[in-house]
Structure 1
């Protein structure tokens, strides 16, 4: 088993995290694969827009192989403020960002009629927006350790609520293990994005829904 260090994400991790986004995250993430994303194109577009927000308050973390010094996993975390909501300009009319726009349409659908600020009496919360461990480092508990550190960093900055959207049964287990509660579940076979029903691929029997989890810190 590799020796893994979990630490806060830094600006100089940019290229390593970009590589994981394009070569691992976008390839394996079931919702995005189902929306027929092109890993390099859509991975770079996601990274260019989302990564700066994930560095803003130092809540994101990486997993590093202590022997080789390689970044082998990441957990991206953004802050969400009631008076200053975060927006990403992914356009459905632009072929370069259409798949990402549909992904975020699915994300916003989970929050429809759900006011996190009012429900939990807060004016800010953290949103965990990307989780990936390089496949050859899987099944070592790295994902759980990254989420746990991200939660600790969030508590230290006085955040009291964390949310995460997941489209993987396996990542859902990570959050459930750490005490997250499922608030909303959208089965894929009932989802309609941009007026079209989701296309069900063979792997969807293992990843059958898109869910929103919340944890009070």
Structure 2
């Protein structure tokens, strides 16, 4: 655990928890427009957000879904290992509806520095083959792409999961989460946000808010080039990408 660290620190001059964005969208059971807010994840709601992500993100993320990661306790623990370190940076975001403390959605953001060994250290501790396969798939995209080198930066904002509660979907909340990243980048003096997207839906959302595609691979082509991933043949999305939004 000692090596699984993220070196970037949130500036103490920035209030916490901070509300970064508010927007209007439909309420649950009526067409009435109500206010939603996207804010920093409070320290006393970290475990609640973990529960939300396990119930929504891990069940719906295409790679975890096709490999039945939600049924693998080790896969869940692998995610929680990473999420707990991200929460320590005080960068993850959560969405609430006005007048409610129910978690509408969450985005497990963090800032990665060029000299971090976070991913390598975490991979060395993963216990689940599902998690190892997911990261191996991600690394295929990075074989010929280095975010730091390509953009000439030493740090950037990234993510390890975005999810909206099923009953709140259809309100463009995911789009608002993605767009809010620009506000964080400007406040934290970061030039870009960069992410690994694994679903058709998340890729469409990213395109809508202005992300550019760095690398894109169809899952069928990945399987052809790397037959050991034949067990993801029934995945419910077409491809995975690396995308970047300049801030």
| TM-score bracket for this pair, using the shorter chain length | 0.7 to 0.9
Alignment counterpart, residue 199 of structure 1, candidates 232, 238, 241: 232
Q: Structure 2 vs 1, CA of residues 97 and 90 (structure 1 numbering), >3 Å: closer, same or farther?
A: farther
CA distance in 2, matches of 1:194, 1:129: 26
The equivalent of 2:98 in structure 1 is 66
SS at match of 1:38: helix
Aligned to 1:122, the other structure's residue is in SS state coil
The structural deviation recorded for 1:39 is 4.4
With normalisation by structure 1, the TM-score equals 0.87
Cα deviation per residue 1:38-58 (whole Å; 9 max; x = unaligned)? 346256314421113322433
The residue aligned with 2:80 is 48
Match of 1:78 in 2: 110
* 2:245 aligned with 1:212: no
Relative to structure 1, is the Cα distance of residues 43 and 7 closer, same or farther in structure 2, using a 3 angstrom cutoff?
Answer: farther
Shift of 1:91: 5.7
Asked if 2 retains the 8 angstrom alpha-carbon contact of 1:59 and 1:154, the reply is no
Inter-partner Cα distance in structure 1 for 2:63 and 2:147: 23
1:7 is aligned to 2:39: yes
Matched, 1:166 2:190: no
Q: Give, in whole Å, the separation in 1 of the partners of 2:148 and 2:194.
A: 11
Q: How many residues align?
A: 212
Which moved further from structure 2: 189-198 or 51-60? Answer: 189-198
Q: TM-score, normalised by structure 2?
A: 0.78
Aligned ranges 1:183-198 → 2 under 5 Å: 183-192=214-223, 195-198=228-231
Gaps of 5+ in 1: none
Does residue 129 (structure 1) correspond to residue 160 (structure 2)? The answer is: yes
Measure how far apart 1:171 and its partner are.
1.1
User: How many angstroms apart in 2 are the aligned matches of 1:32 and 1:48?
Assistant: 14
Q: CA deviation at 1:18?
A: 1.4
Q: Does the aligned pair in 2 maintain the 1:61–1:149 contact within 8 Å?
A: no
Partner of 1:177: 208
The 8 Å contact of residues 46 and 87 in structure 2, kept in 1 or not, is answered as no
Report if the CA contact (8 A) 1:22-1:40 is conserved.
no
Provide structure 2 residue ranges, at least 5 long, that are not aligned to the other structure: 1-25, 28-33
In the TM superposition, residue 33 of structure 1 has moved relative to its aligned partner by 1.0
**Equivalent residue, structure 1, for 2:136:** 105
- Which protein is bigger by CA-based radius of gyration? 2
Change (3 A) 1:39 1:70: farther
